[in-house]
Structure 1
């Protein structure tokens, strides 16, 4: 049985919320990069929020995508935020230096309000 890892997207005004799957690895990060590139090119977005509430595994590819989005948003004066990261993912985000750049929130509402 194959589990498909899909991303869902939610737009709230100029905010793009990316709901991440259970596993964020090199296989699905290519799709994430491609899909978010399209969404950011076609819409005015000044904040990207990544929802890690369902994610239990992430490798360095996930760090790469987050760094790319951070650089892209910083260059246009935008922001990136994260919410819902569990202990495993939190450790990876911390080791990858992401938490020095991107604000971490407990809930979607907190991330939206920032």
Structure 2
């Protein structure tokens, strides 16, 4: 099961995902993140993945969708704290070459 939390501070919205990000949770994650971007207008979105225990290729769709959404709106987009298994998926897809990934929480 996927859990989504948010925190907003000084124009930065952090959306944290914890649990399993799979094809069952991907659509809901996108919809909730878009709702949060409307509720908390920001200049920067940080997607904190440090709490993920599993991610399949559906997680790529979530990250790519949020990256495109931020690019269209002029927001900075950062993926933070991706655990080793999801990071391998991102690296295999070449995402670190097109967006910012940070270690840690």
Bin of the TM-score, shorter chain as denominator length: 0.7 to 0.9
Question: Does the residue aligned with 2:87 lie in a helix, a strand or coil?
Answer: helix
For the pair 1:34 / 2:31, whether they are aligned, the reply is: yes
1:63 match: 60
1:43 match: 40
For the pair 1:99 / 2:100, whether they are aligned, the reply is: no
User: Over aligned residues, Cα RMSD in angstroms?
Assistant: 1.5
Gaps of 5+ in 2: none
Query: Within 2, Cα distance between the matches of 1:44 and 1:50?
Result: 15
TM-score (norm 1): 0.81
Q: Return the match for 1:9 from 6, 27, 41.
A: 6
Query: Within 1, Cα distance between the matches of 2:94 and 2:42?
Result: 24
Q: Which structure has greater strand proportion?
A: 2
TM-score (norm 2): 0.87
Q: Return the match for 1:90 from 73, 77, 87.
A: 87
Question: Does the residue aligned with 1:71 lie in a helix, a strand or coil?
Answer: helix
| Runs of 4+ more than 2 Å apart | none
Size of the aligned set, in residue pairs, is: 105
Query: Within 1, Cα distance between the matches of 2:38 and 2:96?
Result: 26
Question: Does the residue aligned with 1:7 lie in a helix, a strand or coil?
Answer: strand
